[in-house]
């Protein structure tokens, strides 16, 4: 007797759910690794991660699964964005990828990246590039092998990019980024020469970490991050990770002398967390329950961090609330001062501490270097020099140490090549979404001034979060905003906010 | 071609190591569950734990494993305490037990204890014994069936006791405990009537949790717990758990109004942790890399908590160190006062809050009752009366509620019958070990007075920790101390410490 497609899909769904249990267990081990794993426990943890990755890989290449997938194959219509079709389509795509990749390569990559991250930690602490170089070389070798297997007729780089931003092409991104760069470089120059620059002092007053922790928990909850379905912890390189349908965790870090790190870092991660918490839980583990790519993920973090958290109206509401929680350290300051200080734009060395404008230049540098490293045009050993000279070219500064230069990011040590451009894509999407949200909701600034974040979140839930990954990002941005990916709204937003502050 | 025994054993060892990777992953998930798992994430976590438990069970009953075990069988000589023999012997014993127990009984017990713990929670909250009684009856029925299968010619109770304390016999324990009881009951009576009783106020001064946290981290490190191979966190029911050969974590809890909870709780768990950290890492996952039973485990926690941490010399050294870390809350107090307050002995209702002396009487009551319940001499319905009358007899007090009486412990609801006596066995072993350590090291009090804990730890490492579970506890205590299990050293230690304090 033939089973109905419904029955087949239900079995497929159950199978994937069980796989997700293991994947989420691995996510828990990783979260644990990054929140205080005992120093000596790294090697054993790496073995555990390798074992679990192998088990997940086995489940994803098992005969039973292949049969289910094959039987369900006809559910996957390329033009149908129903959750069922999207789920099957994504599984078929992943399966195709898994079949092509030899298990040895998968295991080698998993091990290299665990060890790579440990080496990166040490190299960064010691400011010693040589400690990291062989690991990075191995990681790029492995990822190049992967790209060669997957790329087909396309670019090697696009084969990796596709894993973070489905359907994106480096050629198109290069064009979109060029338009943005052409607008931002002169803008940054003009601001540098402005006589009305804020001095950013509001965020330079030392604030005890305990107070900052209190603020972080408060502000994450205030904008809508749900602590019954998540938690906020401390780590050296902040991130957001999902450990189950009701367990999305965010992490931040605290610098006593620079309050902005934890404040905006927390808002950023809370934005990611709010997105994850808004995905349809009944689809957990399948595409309709997952984010529509990293660009959209980043759009959600940037939206809360910058478009909300660096707005004038936000500070009119937040000033008193924050001041109470930092022991009155801002006594006498106006919302206008803090707002201006939150919008200090200046070329700097560290991506994660960069302002909303220059951030995109940090990304473009990485985007260019990782393309050259992957293609082999740039040898790994030359990467630090390339890094430093591009910083000079785009931002007019040269890192005095590798710690503040090429060793600052965890990404490459974790094997994430093709990931960086999604950050700027996020800024671009966020600006496009805010334009559409304003058309739909009306006066967003007025809502922010009253601390009413719910209408904006509800709009995002309905139009972005609930769609999961039923659409690739280029289709989703068109669907939600009616327009293709474009850097124009971002340029317009930045100019209109910053011109009055810098008297341009 | 026949493989050598060495080859077979090496394969067996690799197999078990991989099983340990999964078991330790489950331990990590459990640690995470008990250190702030988001409220809504419990159900998914339970599914993950069930999946991992099933995978571990599969590995332990797999044909491949059974074959290896059979091939390696001749390595297991009953009289040989080499690591290899001990490892194989333990694996064979576990496997034999798994084979004898019908899967229906295992599943029924698992279900009854899950339901039993839920019912116990409710019964305790409602202070309603009747809610729990049918569950306890079912649990004892199932464990009796298990004991009947496993006991052979021996006592039913001993078949369960053996799972927590290999080779221990209730008849012998009864004698050892009787000697202890005959000494402690009059001692407690005499102390109750003493006019020089301490009032315990040193530990009743409110101390901010932040300060207590600082003290806990300091004191655990001071006595030798290695933070590079572990960490200390907060939880509602403190425990110690091992997540890998270099990852043994301890947990404590903080009560602002009762400093002793975190201080002695931390020392206790640090003792467990020091033991785990001293086990041979190259044998991780096999008997020679595991503790020699629960009695020895408890001996290590009690040794640091009580024999060290409640000694006069310890406080001479620690007073100033602690006072500095609690913001001078002990200003004006002498080491003698704090020492006396740390040795307040008085009959009380709750086992986990009991002092070093009466604790053993709490254990004896449970030991006697659980034997009678298992044999059927005491019907389940009569257990509360038996409990209350024994409290009156041994401690001179009657619980006013079942919540503070028979419903206080989780153990029986979790199926743990035969577990309680290992607590008092721990105290007994600790006293025996301290006598032998003093013979070997010399003046231990003088070392403690200088905060020199290393010689004692080194001695324990060499004689206890490094032996792993190559010996059952009765053999290990004889091997280390030259004497059989005996309560005399414990009695002697308690009398000689407490007589001066209580002017007996």
A76/A14: higher pLDDT = A14
Assigned domain for A232 exists: yes
Percent of chain A with pLDDT over 70: 100
Q: Which of B21, B36, B214, B251 to mutate to probe the A interface, most A CBs <10 Å?
A: B21
A182 and A59, same domain (yes or no): no
Binning pLDDT at 50, 70 and 90, where does residue B1 land? low
- Decide if A229 and B45 are in contact by the 8 Å CB cutoff: no
A221 and A353, same domain (yes or no): yes
B231 closest CB neighbour out of A29, A38, A52 = A38
- Decide if A41 and B227 are in contact by the 8 Å CB cutoff: no
Reduce the DSSP state of residue B490 to 3 states and report it. helix
Assigned domain for A54 exists: yes
pLDDT of residue A42: 94
Instruction: Give the separation between CA B419 and CA A201, rounded to whole angstroms.
Output: 61
User: DSSP letter at B68?
Assistant: H
Binning pLDDT at 50, 70 and 90, where does residue A1 land? low
A157 and A371 Cβ atoms separated by less than 8 Å: yes
Instruction: Give the separation between CA B65 and CA B15, rounded to whole angstroms.
Output: 7
- Decide if A245 and B18 are in contact by the 8 Å CB cutoff: no
A113 and A239, same domain (yes or no): no
CATH code where residue A220 lies: 1.10.1370.30
A181 and A321, same domain (yes or no): yes
Binning pLDDT at 50, 70 and 90, where does residue B316 land? very high
Residues of A at the B interface (Cβ-Cβ below 8 Å)? 18, 21-22, 24-25, 28-29, 31-32, 36-41, 43-45, 47-48, 51-52, 210, 227-231, 243-247, 249
Assigned domain for A333 exists: yes
Instruction: Give the separation between CA B215 and CA B230, rounded to whole angstroms.
Output: 17
Q: Which residues of B touch A36 (CB under 8 A)?
A: 231
pLDDT of residue A107: 87
A178 and A281, same domain (yes or no): yes
Question: What pLDDT digit, counting tens, does each position of B214-261 carry?
Answer: 999 999 999 999 999 999 999 989 999 999 999 999 999 999 999 999
What total of structural domains would you count in chain A?
Answer: 2
- Give the residue on B whose Cα is nearest the Cα of A47: B21
What is the secondary structure of A91-128 as a DSSP string? HHHHHHHHHHS-HHHHHHHHHHHHHHHHHHHHHHHHT-
Please say if the pLDDT value at position B77 is more than 90.
Answer: no
Percent of chain B with pLDDT over 90: 96
Assigned domain for A36 exists: yes
A349 and A217, same domain (yes or no): yes
pLDDT of residue A76: 84
Instruction: Give the separation between CA A489 and CA A435, rounded to whole angstroms.
Output: 8
Question: What pLDDT digit, counting tens, does each position of B456-472 carry?
Answer: 999 999 999 999 999 99
The residue-averaged pLDDT of B174-178 equals: 98
Q: How far is B282 from chain A (nearest CA, A)?
A: 12
- Decide if A246 and B48 are in contact by the 8 Å CB cutoff: no
Average pLDDT over all residues of chain A: 96
The residue-averaged pLDDT of A7-26 equals: 97
A245 closest CB neighbour out of B44, B52, B231 = B44
Assigned domain for A329 exists: yes
Query: A349-358, B29-38, B76-85, B93-102: lowest mean pLDDT where?
Result: B76-85
Question: What pLDDT digit, counting tens, does each position of B349-401 carry?
Answer: 999 999 999 999 999 999 999 999 999 999 999 999 999 999 999 999 999 99
Please say if the pLDDT value at position A78 is more than 80.
Answer: no
Q: Which residues of B touch A245 (CB under 8 A)?
A: 44
Binning pLDDT at 50, 70 and 90, where does residue A74 land? confident
B471 and B479 Cβ atoms separated by less than 8 Å: yes
The residue-averaged pLDDT of B322-336 equals: 97
CA angle B299, B301, B305 (to 5 degrees): 115
Please say if the pLDDT value at position A352 is more than 90.
Answer: no
Question: What pLDDT digit, counting tens, does each position of A18-40 carry?
Answer: 999 999 999 999 999 999 999 99
- Give the residue on A whose Cα is nearest the Cα of B28: A29
A36 and A126, same domain (yes or no): yes
Residues of B at the A interface (Cβ-Cβ below 8 Å)? 18, 21-22, 24-25, 28-29, 31-32, 36-41, 43-45, 47-48, 51-52, 210, 227-231, 243-247, 249
Tokens 């400093």 sit on residue? B259
Please say if the pLDDT value at position B78 is more than 80.
Answer: no
Assigned domain for A164 exists: no
Largest CA distance in chain A: 80
What is the secondary structure of B379-447 as a DSSP string? -GGGHHHHHHHHHHHHHS---SSSTTTTTS-STGGGT--S-THHHHHHHHHHHHHHHHHHHHH--HHHH
A72 and A131, same domain (yes or no): yes
Q: In terms of Cα–Cα distance, which of B108, B73, B115 is closest to B91? A: B73
Binning pLDDT at 50, 70 and 90, where does residue A331 land? very high
Boundary (domain end) residue, out of A136, A158, A180: A158
Which residues fall within 8 angstroms of residue A75, CB to CB, at 6 or more apart? A5, A9, A84, A85, A88
- Give the residue on A whose Cα is nearest the Cα of B18: A51
Assigned domain for A59 exists: yes
Q: What range defines the domain where residue A123 resides?
A: 5-158
Boundary (domain end) residue, out of A158, A190, A205: A158
Q: Which of A26, A44, A59 to mutate to probe the B interface, most B CBs <10 Å?
A: A44
Instruction: Give the separation between CA B481 and CA B144, rounded to whole angstroms.
Output: 35
Assigned domain for A332 exists: yes
Q: Which of A14, A22, A39, A118 to mutate to probe the B interface, most B CBs <10 Å?
A: A39
> Residue A377's CB: how many other CB atoms inside 10 A?
10
pLDDT of residue A98: 83
Q: Which residues of A touch B18 (CB under 8 A)?
A: 51
Question: What pLDDT digit, counting tens, does each position of A125-154 carry?
Answer: 999 999 999 999 999 999 999 999 999 999
Average pLDDT over all residues of chain B: 96
Boundary (domain end) residue, out of A158, A184, A217: A158
- Decide if A244 and B41 are in contact by the 8 Å CB cutoff: yes
Question: What pLDDT digit, counting tens, does each position of B260-308 carry?
Answer: 999 999 999 999 999 999 999 999 999 999 999 999 999 999 999 999 9
pLDDT of residue A103: 85
Which strand ranges, in their side-by-side order, compose the sheet holding A247-252?
A: A232-234, A247-252, A240-244
Q: How far is A289 from chain B (nearest CA, A)?
A: 15
**Cα dihedral across residues A59, A65, A69, A70: positive or negative:** positive
A143 and A208, same domain (yes or no): no
- Decide if B228 and A38 are in contact by the 8 Å CB cutoff: yes
pLDDT of residue B276: 98
A32 closest CB neighbour out of B28, B229, B230 = B28
Q: In terms of Cα–Cα distance, which of A224, A453, A493 is closest to A360? A: A493
The residue-averaged pLDDT of A337-343 equals: 98
A204 and A351, same domain (yes or no): yes
A277 and A336, same domain (yes or no): yes
A351 and A450, same domain (yes or no): yes
For residue B24, the number of C-alpha atoms closer than 13 Å in the C-beta half-sphere is: 27
A229 and B40 Cβ atoms separated by less than 8 Å: yes
Counting one residue from A and one from B, how many pairs have CB atoms under 8 Å apart? 90
């Amino acid at each position: 007797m033939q089973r109905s497609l419904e029955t087949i899909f239900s079995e497929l769904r159950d199978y994937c759910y069980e796989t997700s249990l293991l994947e989420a267990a691995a996510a828990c081990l990783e979260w644990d690794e990054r929140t205080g794993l005992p120093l000596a426990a790294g090697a054993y943890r790496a073995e555990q991660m390798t074992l679990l990755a192998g088990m997940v890989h086995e489940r994803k290449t098992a005969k039973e699964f292949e049969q289910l997938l094959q039987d369900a194959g006809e559910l996957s219509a390329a033009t149908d964005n129903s959750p069922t079709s999207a789920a099957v389509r994504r599984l078929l795509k992943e399966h195709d990828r898994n079949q092509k990749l030899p298990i040895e390569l998968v295991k080698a990559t998993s091990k290299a990246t665990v060890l790579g991250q440990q080496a990166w930690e040490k190299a960064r602490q010691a400011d010693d590039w040589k400690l990291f170089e062989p690991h990075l070389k191995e990681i790029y070798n492995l990822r190049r092998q992967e790209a060669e297997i997957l790329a087909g007729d396309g670019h090697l780089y696009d084969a990796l990019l596709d894993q973070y931003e489905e359907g994106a092409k480096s050629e198109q991104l290069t064009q979109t980024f060029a338009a943005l760069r052409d607008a931002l470089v002169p803008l940054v120059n003009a601001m540098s020469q402005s006589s009305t620059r804020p001095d950013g002092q509001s965020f330079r007053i030392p604030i005890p970490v305990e107070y900052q922790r209190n603020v972080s928990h408060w502000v994450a909850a205030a904008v809508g991050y749900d602590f019954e379905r998540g938690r906020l912890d401390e780590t050296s390189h902040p991130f957001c990770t999902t450990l189950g349908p009701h367990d999305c965790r965010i992490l931040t870090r605290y610098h006593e002398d620079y309050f902005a790190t934890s404040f905006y870092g927390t808002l950023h991660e809370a934005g990611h967390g709010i997105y994850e918490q808004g995905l349809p839980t009944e689809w957990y583990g399948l595409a309709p329950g997952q984010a529509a790519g990293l660009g959209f993920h980043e759009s959600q973090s940037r939206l809360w961090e910058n478009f909300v958290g660096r707005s004038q109206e936000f500070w009119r509401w937040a000033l008193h609330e924050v001041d109470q929680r930092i022991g009155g350290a801002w006594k006498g300051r106006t919302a206008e001062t803090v707002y201006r200080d939150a919008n200090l734009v200046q070329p700097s060395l560290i991506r994660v501490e960069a302002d909303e404008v220059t951030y995109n230049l940090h990304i473009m540098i990485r985007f260019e270097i990782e393309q050259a490293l992957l293609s082999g045009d740039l040898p790994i050993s030359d990467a630090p020099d390339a890094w430093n000279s591009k910083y000079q070219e785009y931002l007019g500064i040269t890192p005095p140490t590798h710690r503040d230069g090429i060793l600052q990011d965890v990404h490459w040590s974790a094997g994430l090549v093709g990931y960086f451009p999604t950050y700027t894509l996020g800024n671009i999407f966020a600006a496009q979404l805010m334009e559409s949200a304003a058309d739909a909701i009306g006066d967003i600034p007025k809502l922010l001034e009253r601390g009413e974040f719910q209408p904006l979140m509800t709009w995002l839930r309905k139009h972005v979060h609930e769609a999961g990954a039923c659409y690739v990002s280029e289709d989703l941005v068109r669907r939600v905003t009616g327009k293709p990916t474009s850097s124009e709204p971002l340029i317009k937003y930045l100019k209109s906010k910053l011109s009055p502050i810098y008297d341009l």
